[in-house]
């Protein structure tokens, strides 16, 4: 089985040795001189110039458009990988053999869901990000893809979701998902002015897509999914992250 898992990266960094993984330097058109080792996201059909707004999705778009011979395509991050273990070790991330085994009985591999417990996906988004893009996304789905409206609202009301834009999909669901996703985001992009957002908030389409994955999945029960553990390769200050989470919950967007 020909599986490629793209590793979205924006600087020089250690990579897994398993040939299934393909490091893709995102935003290569914006930073042409930073790295000449990794595959750039600016060849063939690409949206590399939009990386500041689409985040790791520029790698996903590149792989979708330029790797037509794969049986399955995935996306992970240079610091976050699927793993059947809990070790922060590049040699123990999901292997080709493990991925092939999972895809024997499933069509899509997803990261374990992140649960916010005390707030919904919608309230969390609104506490952290600009509000307009989410409302415009709702409008776009209601108008152009009304069959997905119920699933969108279900995801908004849940406290957990498959975050991080991580997945490994067989070719057919990947093509269907990417066609839908980039069309929805493209419509939202036409309708909002994010030029005055902070640099962080200008990554808006990468943030929105984290909620759109589960929206799309909710309308495609024909595809069999499996949730897999993921590991973050660097140390995390959970006390600091928890403090910021509670501050946003109390003080709202813009007060962090």
Q: What is residue 113's DSSP assignment? A: P
**This prediction's pTM:** 0.92
Give residue-wise pLDDT tens across range 177-230: 999 999 999 999 999 999 999 999 999 999 999 999 999 999 999 999 999 999
DSSP H helices, 67-203, are: 96-105, 121-128, 132-144, 149-157, 171-191
Note the pLDDT of residue 36: 83
User: Are 56 and 80 within 8 A, CB to CB?
Assistant: no
């Amino acid at each position: 089985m020909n599986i490629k898992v793209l590793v979205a990266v924006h600087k020089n960094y250690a990579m897994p040795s398993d040939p299934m993984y393909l490091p893709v330097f995102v935003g290569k058109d914006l930073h042409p001189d930073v790295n000449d080792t990794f595959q750039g996201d600016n060849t063939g059909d690409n949206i590399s110039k939009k990386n500041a707004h689409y985040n790791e999705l520029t790698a996903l778009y590149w792989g979708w458009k330029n790797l037509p011979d794969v049986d399955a395509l995935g996306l992970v991050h240079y610091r976050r990988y699927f793993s059947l273990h809990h070790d922060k070790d590049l040699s123990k991330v999901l292997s080709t053999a493990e991925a092939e085994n999972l895809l024997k009985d499933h069509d899509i591999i997803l990261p374990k869901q992140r649960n916010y417990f005390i707030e919904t996906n919608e309230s969390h988004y609104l506490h952290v990000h600009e509000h307009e893009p989410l409302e415009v996304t709702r409008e776009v789905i209601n108008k152009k893809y009304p069959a997905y409206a119920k699933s969108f609202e279900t995801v908004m009301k849940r406290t957990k979701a498959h975050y991080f834009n991580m997945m490994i999909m067989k070719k057919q669901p990947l093509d269907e998902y990417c066609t839908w996703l980039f069309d929805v985001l493209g419509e939202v992009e036409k309708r909002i002015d994010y030029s005055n957002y902070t640099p962080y908030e200008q990554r808006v389409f990468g943030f929105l897509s984290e909620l759109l994955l589960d929206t799309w999945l909710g309308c495609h029960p024909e595809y069999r999914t499996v949730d897999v553990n993921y590991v973050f390769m660097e140390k995390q200050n959970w006390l600091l992250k928890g403090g910021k989470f509670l501050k946003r919950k109390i003080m709202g967007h813009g007060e962090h």
